[in-house]
């Protein structure tokens, strides 16, 4: 017997196109073995205010174009996927919750924590189911690091070092409304650190610099930044990010423990070369973009959302989780602006 699950996607920009492709590919890929076994067929309907573009995306991924979000929801979709700009997330999340369907929304919940809180309250009041897009929770490397940590293979952790570097900056128009490097980029590291260690980050001390395109500074952002983070048990770590890493998209997490250390991102495609004579590793071509680096994670994330829609799994990333990571990002931004360490809001 075939079970049809229809997802409605709003927004087919940079990340929405990728989700459209991944949803359309769900029938017949590695990630959907469970779906295939259960005879699930995933169908996709999509919309975007940029209608012509959305129509062409729909044709290219074999989806149905729908004229508006209202029409999309009214057409009876089983789940709503939101991949529009951040400012639109709260209203669209509410629309999905009002329709009584599970929602997947790209991170973050809203442009800042203050605007996220009423959304969390609304979801809770209405018993909504909302998964937020922190795809690293599905990445094989982070999953293995979490397993090793939880199995006690690393002993107790004394230091963590997280790195996220884009190859080139996104458009300045995007940066102008992104909330800054910590909220846009390092928020993924803040989320994964909480998820992986089960510890809360309680204080952040951040510094940043602008030695690249002056336009980034003109819109109030930095192109490179580093935050010293302190966890609730006193463990310390650093979270650094840059928009300029010509060697490729560089994402790493080093967990150093009393018994052993692991490094997420140390594969043949890591965007770092050894300075040691005679060392050939890594031999592959580095990932160039976040889409390449996390291709498997984004696919697994969408497969997980289908399972959530079918009521077959726990929510893998709740809005509360996402807002907790955003609180750390807010503290980092405040520290960057004020030059002093900032306590993370409870």
Ligand X SMILES: NC(=O)c1ccc[n+]([C@@H]2O[C@H](COP(=O)([O-])OP(=O)(O)OC[C@H]3O[C@@H](n4cnc5c(N)ncnc54)[C@H](O)[C@@H]3O)[C@@H](O)[C@H]2O)c1
Closest by CA to 187, choosing from 334, 325, 73, is 325
Asked if the bond preceding 162 is cis, omega within 30° of 0, the reply is: no
Q: Are 34 and 42 in contact (CB under 8 A)?
A: no
In the set 32, 106, 254, 307, which binds ligand X (CB under 6 A)? 106
User: What mask of x and - would describe binding to ligand X in positions 274 to 313, judged by CB under 6 A?
Assistant: ----------------x-----------------------
Q: Give 158 or 244: the residue with its C-beta nearer to ligand X.
A: 244
Q: Is 241 helix (H, G, I), strand (E, B) or coil?
A: strand
**If binding is defined by CB under 6 A, does position 88 make contact with ligand X?**
yes
In the set 4, 27, 41, 50, which binds ligand X (CB under 6 A)? 50
Find the part of the chain contacting ligand X (CB under 6 A) among 32-40, 77-85, 200-208, 211-219.
77-85
In the set 11, 79, 141, 169, which binds ligand X (CB under 6 A)? 11
Write down the least CB distance from residue 203 to ligand X, Å. 25
- Applying the rule CB under 6 A, the residues between 129 and 158 that interact with ligand X are 133, 135
Write down the least CB distance from residue 232 to ligand X, Å. 26
3-state helix, strand, coil in the chain (%, to 5): 40, 20, 35
Who's near 304: CB < 8 A, 6+ residues apart?
Answer: 131, 138, 313, 316
- Applying the rule CB under 6 A, the residues between 54 and 73 that interact with ligand X are 69
- Applying the rule CB under 6 A, the residues between 200 and 259 that interact with ligand X are none
Find the part of the chain contacting ligand X (CB under 6 A) among 84-92, 155-163, 255-263, 266-274.
84-92
Find the part of the chain contacting ligand X (CB under 6 A) among 81-89, 137-145, 156-164, 306-314.
81-89
Entry field: residues in the chain: 346
Strand order in the sheet with 3-10: 64-65, 40-47, 3-10, 79-82, 103-106, 130-133
Q: Are 271 and 250 in contact (CB under 8 A)?
A: yes
Find the part of the chain contacting ligand X (CB under 6 A) among 80-88, 120-128, 215-223, 278-286.
80-88
Q: Give 50 or 74: the residue with its C-beta nearer to ligand X.
A: 50
Mode of pairing for the β-strands spanning 3-10 and 79-82? parallel
In the set 39, 85, 100, 198, which binds ligand X (CB under 6 A)? 85
105, 108, 109, 110 alpha-carbon torsion, rounded to 10° = -130
E strand segments, the chain:
3-10, 40-47, 64-65, 79-82, 103-106, 130-133, 157-165, 201-209, 224-231, 236-242, 250-257, 261-264, 342-343
Distance separating alpha carbons of residues 12 and 83, to the nearest angstrom? 7
Write down the least CB distance from residue 247 to ligand X, Å. 20
**If binding is defined by CB under 6 A, does position 107 make contact with ligand X?**
yes
In the set 3, 49, 172, 247, which binds ligand X (CB under 6 A)? 49
**If binding is defined by CB under 6 A, does position 13 make contact with ligand X?**
yes
In the set 8, 16, 248, 257, which binds ligand X (CB under 6 A)? 16
Report residue 238 as tokens.
Answer: 């650093």
Q: Are 11 and 17 in contact (CB under 8 A)?
A: no
Q: Give 107 or 252: the residue with its C-beta nearer to ligand X.
A: 107
Positions touching ligand X (CB under 6 A) are: 10-16, 47-50, 69, 83-86, 88, 106-107, 133, 135, 290
């Amino acid at each position: 017997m075939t079970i049809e699950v229809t997802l409605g996607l709003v927004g087919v920009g940079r990340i929405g196109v990728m989700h459209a492709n991944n949803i359309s590919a769900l029938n017949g890929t590695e990630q959907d073995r469970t779906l295939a076994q259960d005879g699930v067929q995933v169908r996709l309907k999509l919309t975007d205010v940029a209608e012509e573009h959305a129509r062409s995306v729909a044709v290219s991924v074999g989806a149905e174009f729908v004229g508006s979000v209202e029409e999309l929801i009214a057409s009876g979709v089983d789940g709503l996927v939101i991949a529009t700009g951040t400012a639109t997330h709260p209203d669209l999340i509410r629309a999905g919750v009002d329709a009584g369907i599970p929602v997947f929304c790209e991170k973050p919940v809203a442009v800042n924590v203050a605007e996220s809180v009423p959304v969390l309250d609304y979801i809770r009041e209405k018993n909504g189911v909302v998964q937020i897009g922190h795809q690293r929770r599905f990445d094989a490397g982070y999953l293995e690091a979490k397993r090793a940590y939880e199995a006690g293979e690393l002993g107790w952790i004394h230091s963590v070092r997280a790195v996220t570097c884009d190859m080139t900056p996104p458009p300045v128009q995007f940066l102008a409304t992104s909330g800054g490097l910590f909220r846009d980029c390092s928020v993924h590291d803040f989320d994964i650190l909480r998820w992986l260690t089960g510890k809360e980050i309680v204080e952040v001390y951040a510094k940043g610099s602008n030695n690249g395109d002056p336009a980034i500074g003109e819109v109030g952002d930095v192109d490179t930044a580093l935050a010293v983070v302190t966890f609730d048990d006193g463990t310390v770590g650093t979270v650094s990010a840059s928009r300029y890493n010509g060697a490729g998209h560089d994402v790493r997490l080093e967990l150093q423990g009393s018994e052993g250390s692991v490094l997420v991102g140390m594969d043949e495609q890591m965007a770092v070369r050894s300075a040691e004579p005679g060392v050939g590793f890594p031999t592959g071509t580095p990932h160039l973009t976040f889409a390449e680096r996390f291709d498997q994670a984004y696919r697994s994330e969408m497969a997980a959302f289908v399972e959530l829609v079918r009521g077959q799994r726990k929510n893998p990333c709740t809005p509360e989780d996402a807002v907790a990571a955003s609180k750390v990002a807010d503290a980092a931004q405040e520290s960057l602006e004020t030059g002093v360490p900032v306590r993370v809001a409870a």
